[in-house]
Amino acid sequence: MSGKHDSPQVRVADAAGIAAAAALLRGGGLVAVPTETVYGLAARADSADAVAAIYRAKGRPDFNPLIVHVPDLARAEELVMIDDRARKLAAAFWPGALTMVLPLRDGARIAPAVTAGLPTLALRCPAHPAMRALLEEGDLALAAPSANRSGGVSPTTAAHVVQSLGEQVPLVLDGGACAAGIESTIVALRADGSWQVLRPGPITEAQISAILGAPAGLVTSDRIEAPGQLASHYAPGKPVRLNAAAAHPDEFLIGFGPVAGAVSLSSAGDLAEAAARLYDCLHQAAGAAQPRIAIAPIPDEGIGIAINDRLRRAAV
Ligand code: TXA
Ligand code: MG
């Protein structure tokens, strides 16, 4: 499957829309799907051709592996080795915004391009009802990175997907604005018993520590293990200045709390609201008349850690 579509079809994620999406996916096609974190660009994970179409549509470097989405833990067990730690984390956080990196099972039906050759697989069980219905109905494990051009700002509405990928995607399933608004937390559970957060997200390291204990073991500088963590990412296409108390004349200011701005992540200073609005504000800033973007300081606590991680990369 490849090729361009004059304009993507945007369909409400009702029963008929989900059935149409499932049929397209079964046939090896691409569908942009809503999740509680960000919109994903989905394809069946067992088809090399379907997965290749994701990389093409995103313009994604092919060393960057994809997250696979499953409806439940039983489905995950068919693909990876689930140990005690994974079982505990799944019980606590699935369905939800936690991705676990686990050893790939021998003979798992996963196209090699999904893992980019790694012996591990990143797996997530999403909570969005439309995505859950699609996973059940399609009876497929779905590879789905965020539904944006590689390196660009992630999409939290169907309109963002259309703006970013346009004719690259035949069907966008519209499930409304994403509730969490920021990509899942990625945790690697290592064979030596250690674990590490590879990408901060809605589930904090403190929440994971509360279940697994401290992330014992050597913390190595293996950030490239999650290549989505490359320094420049989430780029709005304009210079970004962080920790701004006020706007310069040529800046579009994104506010937070007492810093008002042209738009605000959360005038109440609520970090969950700020995460949910982050990418929409960056999309607005990218489309604004001002040639530069400034962003108010965000407290580096809770989900604020994930927000600041994304902002630092947007500012590179
Ligand atoms: O919230 C999310 O996770 C969204 C929604 C659509 O589910 N998906 C998402 O996927 O953010 P993507 O492809 O944009 O980010 C995938 C991240 C990348 O940083 C990638 O390097 C990392 O997951 N990753 C995938 N497989 C991995 C593996 N085997 N080991 C380490 N990191 C891996
Ligand atoms: Mg992404």
In this prediction, residue 226 carries a pLDDT of 52
Residues ≥6 apart with Cβ < 8 Å to 58: 41, 145, 148, 149, 150, 165, 168
In this prediction, residue 166 carries a pLDDT of 86
In this prediction, residue 224 carries a pLDDT of 42
Specify the residue with its C-alpha closest to ligand 1, atom 18: 228
Report d(CA 79, CA 90) in Å as an integer.
Answer: 15
Which ligand ends up closest to the CA of 103? 1
With 80 as the cut, is the pLDDT of residue 62 above it? no
User: Model pTM?
Assistant: 0.92
Which of the residue ranges 141-155, 221-235, 293-307 would you say has the lowest mean pLDDT? 221-235
CA of 249 from ligand 2 middle (Å) equals: 31
In this prediction, residue 227 carries a pLDDT of 47
Per-residue pLDDT, averaged over 58-74, amounts to 89
CA of 251 from ligand 2 middle (Å) equals: 26
The continuous run of DSSP H or E covering 103 comes out as: strand 98-103
In this predicted model, which residue has the larger pLDDT, 138 or 146?
Answer: 146
Question: What's the whole-number average pLDDT of the chain?
Answer: 92
CA of 100 from ligand 1 middle (Å) equals: 10
In this prediction, residue 25 carries a pLDDT of 97
Which ligand ends up closest to the CA of 229? 1
Query: Percentage of the chain with pLDDT > 70?
Result: 92
In this prediction, residue 143 carries a pLDDT of 98
